[in-house]
């Protein structure tokens, strides 16, 4: 089977029922305030999307014993799966050197809505299976460890893969239908640093339908009334909360406060 992607017709077919509920119940998205970051769902796409997401998490993560990261990747995306495992191993070593807790993680996999060269006659079936898989990921709680965790993610983060649009759409529908509390599944969209003068198609759809509670861009050209400029994610990364291997912890603290 070829490289997966989500076609425009597939997105419309998947989105129609949820979009109707979305229109009826309202489209106002608030800002993300007072979020519970103990359980974060991170939506990864293939290639650069996963690399960017890992880099953002690597530089922004804070030590928090009860935190849990759930990474969502495509079932056929072994490269992203391996990258995440390598990152989590590196993260554990990095935190352990400073006697800090990096929290826990799990990796869940979802099926694509449509694959390259797949017949359109079979696409509705794979699309339905994809939606059901997304719903299961959003509503299945992590394994409970010593510290109890919420059933639903407090924050959902995506940075541009087409499947990220479907995750945010389903999450918004679950909140609007009061299936999950309004305080859970708050959504953050981070536009790729490669998008300098225009938004990606995923970004345009999410922006148009106001599916993201917080919409971040990394280029001054894209800064707008509701687009929050965040140059310190990849373009100008901030000093990490936990030093890397070649950094002095004391020097890191001084730099972070500067």
State the pTM of this model. 0.75
pLDDT tens profile 164-205? 889 999 999 999 999 999 889 999 988 876 666 777 888 888
Instruction: Taking residues 120-138, report their average pLDDT.
Output: 87
pLDDT at position 36 is: 44
Over 60: is that where the pLDDT of 223 sits? yes
As a whole number of Å, the CA-based R_g of the chain is 18
Instruction: Taking residues 92-97, report their average pLDDT.
Output: 89
- Exposure string (b/e) for 193-229, b if CB count within 10 Å is 16 or more? bebeeebbebbebbbebebbbbbbbbbeebeeeebee
pLDDT at position 193 is: 65
Least confident piece of the model among 128-132, 207-211, 215-219:
215-219
Instruction: Taking residues 203-223, report their average pLDDT.
Output: 83
Least confident piece of the model among 28-32, 126-130, 181-185, 221-225:
28-32
Mean pLDDT of the chain: 75
Lookup: tokens for 153: 């993610």
Strand 214-217 to 68-74 pairing: unpaired
Query: What span, in angstroms and rounded, lies between the C-alpha atoms of 138 and 150?
Result: 12
Closest CA to 192 of 223, 156, 161, 227: 161
Over 60: is that where the pLDDT of 28 sits? no
Phi, psi at residue 206, to the nearest 5°?
-65, -40
- Side-chain half-sphere of 70: how many Cα atoms within 13 Å? 27
Lookup: tokens for 136: 């299961």
Instruction: Taking residues 209-231, report their average pLDDT.
Output: 75
- pLDDT band (50, 70, 90) for residue 233: low
Lookup: tokens for 128: 């339905």
Ranges of beta strands (E only) in 5-103 are 39-43, 68-74
- pLDDT band (50, 70, 90) for residue 22: very low
70: Cβ contacts below 8 Å, ≥ 6 apart: 39, 40, 41, 42, 105, 106, 107, 108, 137, 142, 153
CA dihedral 181, 44, 103, 150 (to 10 degrees): 10
Lookup: tokens for 124: 């509705």
Query: What span, in angstroms and rounded, lies between the C-alpha atoms of 4 and 18?
Result: 23
pLDDT tens profile 141-163? 988 665 666 789 999 999 877 88
Percentage of the chain modeled with pLDDT above 70: 66
H or E element: which one contains 20? helix 8-25
- pLDDT band (50, 70, 90) for residue 81: very high
Q: How far is CA 74 from CA 88, 101, 110, 165, 237, in A?
A: 18, 28, 5, 14, 27
Residues forming a β-bridge with 190: 216
Query: What span, in angstroms and rounded, lies between the C-alpha atoms of 189 and 192?
Result: 9
Query: What span, in angstroms and rounded, lies between the C-alpha atoms of 25 and 22?
Result: 5
Over 80: is that where the pLDDT of 215 sits? yes
Query: What span, in angstroms and rounded, lies between the C-alpha atoms of 200 and 219?
Result: 13
């Amino acid at each position: 089977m070829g490289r997966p992607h989500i076609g425009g017709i597939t997105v419309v077919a998947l989105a129609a029922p949820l979009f109707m509920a979305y229109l009826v119940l309202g489209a106002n998205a608030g800002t993300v305030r007072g979020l519970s970051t103990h359980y974060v769902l991170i939506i990864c796409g293939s290639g650069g999307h996963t690399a960017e997401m890992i880099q953002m998490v690597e530089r922004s993560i804070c030590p928090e014993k009860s935190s849990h990261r759930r990474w969502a990747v495509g079932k056929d995306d072994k490269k992203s799966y391996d990258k995440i495992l390598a990152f989590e191993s590196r993260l554990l070593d990095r935190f352990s050197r400073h006697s800090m807790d990096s929290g826990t993680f799990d990796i869940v996999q979802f099926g694509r809505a449509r694959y390259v060269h797949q017949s359109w006659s079979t696409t509705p079936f794979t699309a339905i299976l994809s939606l059901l898989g997304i719903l299961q990921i959003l509503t299945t709680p992590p394994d409970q460890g010593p510290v109890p965790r919420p059933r639903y993610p407090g924050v959902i983060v995506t940075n541009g893969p087409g499947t990220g649009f479907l995750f945010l759409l389903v999450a918004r529908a679950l909140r609007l239908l009061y299936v999950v509390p309004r305080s859970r599944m708050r959504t953050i969209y981070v536009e790729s640093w490669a998008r300098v003068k225009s938004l990606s198609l995923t970004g345009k759809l999410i922006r148009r339908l106001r599916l993201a509670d917080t919409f971040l861009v990394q280029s001054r050209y894209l800064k707008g009334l509701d687009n929050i400029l965040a140059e310190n994610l990849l373009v100008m990364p901030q000093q990490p909360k936990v030093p890397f291997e070649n950094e002095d912890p004391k020097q890191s603290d001084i730099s972070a406060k500067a």
